[in-house]
Amino acid sequence: MAGIYTLLLLVLSNIFMTLAWYGHLKLQQTGTSSNWPLIGVIAFSWLIAFFEYCCQVPANRIGFEGNGGPFSLVQLKVIQECVSLLVFAIIANMMFQNQSLHWNHAAAFLCIIAAVYFVFME
């Protein structure tokens, strides 16, 4: 179960991360934050990123083999990167529909999946 909790927390963490990093761009496009000073945009993103950390830190603690979890440190990092790109692709497609994915993006994702495969090899 630790592995499943880790994956779910990583997905949730990456949703918050993607919104913190790129959500302000969507708000700017809609005119909501067009007049915000940069420090306001940073504070807004930090507020969202707080929730990212509230999920990311427990995910790493629960999933790390040194704490009884199923994953090594390297495995946790590679999984996190894979989840991050997958979540980014979905959210970016939903928020920024004029940004389409192309064949080279799919090829890059396949390379990330290959990295996950290789990191789990004995």
Confidence at residue 25, expressed as pLDDT on a 0 to 100 scale:
87
Please count the other Cβ atoms lying within 10 Å of the Cβ belonging to residue 55. 19
Q: Please identify which residue in the block is written with the tokens 């979905």.
A: 90
Task: Look at the chain and report how many structural domains it folds into.
Answer: 1
**% helix / strand / coil in the chain, to the nearest 5?**
80, 0, 20
Average pLDDT for 54-79:
95
pTM of the full structure? 0.82
Q: Residue 12: pLDDT above 90?
A: yes
Rounded to whole angstroms, the Cα distance separating 57 from 113 reads 23
- Cβ burial of 92 (10 Å; 0-12, 13-18, 19+) is middle
28-51 pLDDT, tens digit per residue, is 888 888 899 999 999 999 999 999
The confidence band for 68, taking pLDDT boundaries of 50, 70 and 90, is very high
Q: Where are the alpha helices (DSSP H) in 31-102?
A: 38-63, 73-95
- Structural domain range at position 42: 2-119
Query: What would the mean pLDDT of 63-92 be, rounded to a whole number?
Result: 91
Greater pLDDT, 75 or 121: 75
β-bridge partners, 64: 71
CB 93 within 8 A of CB 101: yes
Vertex 95, ends 111 and 42: CA angle to 5°? 95
For the chain, what is the mean pLDDT? 90
